[in-house]
Amino acid sequence: MRVLILTAASRLPDISAVFEGLTRYVEADVRMLDKDQQRNLNAYLRNVVLDSYDRVLLDIPFKHMYRQVSLLARLHGLLIYEEDACQNYLTASKWHGAFSRFYKRLPGARIVVTGASVARRLGREGFDVAFIPKGYDPRILFDEQQDRDIELGFIGRTASKAYQGRKTLLDSLSACEPLQLLRVEPGAGYRHMLNRIRYFVSADVGLSEYMAKNFEAMACGCLLLAWRQGEEEQAIGLEEGRHLLLYSSLDELRRHLTALRADPYLAIRIAQCGREFVVQNCSHDSLAMRLAKELEREWPRFTPPRRWDWLRSLCTLRRA
């Protein structure tokens, strides 16, 4: 199978290892597009022989993709890999409902999302959708087996409206516990910082999925204290008390901290089991294998829309 992969140059988080891993399963032609190329796929693809590919895997930001529905509707074997589809169901997000409106105009596409509940909801709307959780790059992120001098830490963003629940919880925790809110550039510096943290606080309140930083922290040997997401843990395979500790309130989180401080061996055991789980199940190699299965799965019969339908779809999306 020959697959054309269109991804964003300088992508964060970097998942280039996923596409490298895909080459073990399919013949992958990976193209790194700059922002101008992402915004004008029609011009970029003009010199690409699309008929020579069995699949097209699209991995570019939604903000650069959603206005190009007329082009995308004509692509046979289109798979959209989307890490931000949870915003389709966040009322605080500027993209609330936009993903559903976009996908309705791409009946021949398969969508891979990173949240189990997001996949379920999109599936109920009639889309061909699959769930593959986010992961981590083992080439960069691993346990350095060093002393951990930061007891309680969080690394990440809180400024976006979509992260309002995260910010509220972290601010409340900071008022009563020695939480350090940290920012660091990707790469070795990020790995070193994670390896200094004993308990990593995941505060993905209202996001209905696990962000990549959770798996990254576990891979680096942190004990993960994660906001309880409901169906996500079971879908991923995470077991509470074995791989991580879950909480649904600030009080429950603080009770966990009290128990961990009283029993350091409990903390070591959970952190080790969590690290082993993500090493076996959540690396970018695992993600590549699961993506390959979605690419190889039988595609629905594809009938390109008529030209009038392309124009009508484009106008409707722009009004939305």
| Average pLDDT value for the chain | 91
Q: In this model, does residue 206 exceed pLDDT 90?
A: no
Q: In this model, does residue 232 exceed pLDDT 90?
A: yes
Helical pair 264-281 and 250-262, crossing angle rounded to 10 deg: 110
**pTM of this prediction?**
0.89
**Contact predicate 141/220, CB 8 Å:** yes
Just give the CATH number of 2-135+285-319. Answer: 3.40.50
CA–CA dist 76, 110 (Å, integer): 10
- Tallying the residues shown for the chain, one arrives at 320
Within this chain, domains 2-135+285-319 and 150-282 share the same CATH topology:
yes
**Contact predicate 209/114, CB 8 Å:** yes
**Boundaries of every domain in the chain:** 2-135+285-319, 150-282
Please provide residue 128's backbone torsions phi and psi, each rounded to the nearest 5 degrees: -80, 100
- What pLDDT was estimated at residue 119? 96
Q: What does the pLDDT average to over 38-54? A: 95
User: How confident is residue 148, by pLDDT bands cut at 50, 70 and 90?
Assistant: very high
Q: In this model, does residue 261 exceed pLDDT 80?
A: yes
Which amino acid makes up residue 186?
A: P
Just give the CATH number of 150-282. Answer: 3.40.50.2000
Comparing CA positions, the residue from 181, 178, 225 lying closest to residue 203 is 225
